Amino acid sequence: MEEMIESQKIEECTNYFLQLQDTICAGLEASDGMARFREDSWQRPGGGGGRSRVIEEGNVFEKGGVNFSLVHGELSEEFARQLPGEGRRFTATGISLVLHPRNPFVPTVHANFRFLAKGQDGWFGGGADLTPYYPFEEDIVHFHRTWKDVCGRHSHLIDYHKLKKDCDDYFYLPHRQEARGVGGIFFDYLRGDFASLLAFVKDCGNHFLSAYLPIVEKRKELPFSSDQRKFQEYRRGRYVEFNLIYDRGTIFGLKTAGRIESILMSLPPTVRYVYNWQPVPGSPEERLTSYFLKPRDWLGESK
């Protein structure tokens, strides 16, 4: 009976994540107006597989991916000890997306939602965060307001302020002593009543497009210079550093023999590393790190 219940949970999550992938891809294609997602279905040698969708060289999105996976099998002894639950058997289902726009005034965005079962334990994880290059404060406020409203509808379970702080803490590069972006929400090992938590995760997934696309629509036609484009490529380097060193999804994929092309889909198409680059004092580039990348209460509602 326990296995049947867990199987039903996995199936319910899987069906939602597949539908969410369709919805998000359709919305992004409409916003781009030119490029379409290419789909690759794949099988994992250890069990399960996925459906990867990648968009490239569009009007808006230079590169992006919206990936679904449902994988199962056995963890290594070492990695199994790092996760809750007994034994080594696991099943994980989820959706993960990253979008790298062409225009430096449009921020990069990341989101993922997942359910993982191991032994008799199971939990949700996920969230969404924004990484701008030339930020507009109203855009950041809109992004955070969307997630606060989602959390508010589930306040008996979820504390927005905690999820925001967890996001600020997680998307941080200790070796740079610098935030990756302006945050959003982040949660992991979220346990409790399955139906209530899935309702929260669905509410998050259903509001990703409304959190991000209004920003895209306002900024995608703004003119930009070659120097601004170079700065965007330079800042993308921080994204690479975080995803290859700290990102839990990347580490989980590599530790469980995931599909490399799907795991590394999150990396931007072009990146610029410049030795000891320094911004001009008082410039928009300097303001990114001196003001916008300092965790703050963007909604003016500190708790």
* Catalytic residue set: 110
* Chain segment 168-223, per-residue pLDDT in tens: 999 999 999 999 999 999 999 999 999 999 999 999 999 999 999 999 999 999 99
Per-residue pLDDT reduced to its tens digit, 235-254: 999 999 999 999 888 887 88
Question: What is d(CA 56, CA 62) in angstroms, rounded to the nearest whole number?
Answer: 5
Query: Is 273 domain-assigned?
Result: yes
Is the pTM higher than 0.75? The answer reads yes
Segments forming the whole domain that contains residue 30? 2-292
| Count of domains observed in the chain | 1
Assess if residue 241 is contained within a domain: yes
Is residue 303 domain-resident? no
Strands 108-118 and 172-173: unpaired
Instruction: Convert the pLDDT of each residue in 67-99 to its tens digit.
Output: 999 998 887 777 767 777 777 888 999 999 999
Domain-located, residue 300: no
Q: Calculate mean pLDDT across residues 274-279.
A: 94
Amino acid 302: pLDDT? 54
Say if 7 falls within a structural domain: yes
- Alpha-carbon dihedral 120, 255, 25, 105, rounded to 10 degrees: 120
Alpha-helical (H) ranges within 114-267 are: 137-152, 160-170, 194-206, 208-219, 226-245, 248-255, 260-263
In a domain, 301, yes or no: no
At residue 25, the pLDDT reads 98
Residue 13 lies in a domain: yes
CATH number (domain holding residue 108): 3.40.1500.10
> Distances from the Cα of 94 to the Cαs of 181, 199, 278, 281, 288, in angstroms?
23, 15, 39, 43, 32
User: Model confidence over 111-160: pLDDT tens digits?
Assistant: 999 999 888 889 999 999 999 999 999 999 999 999 999 999 999 999 99
In a domain, 298, yes or no: no
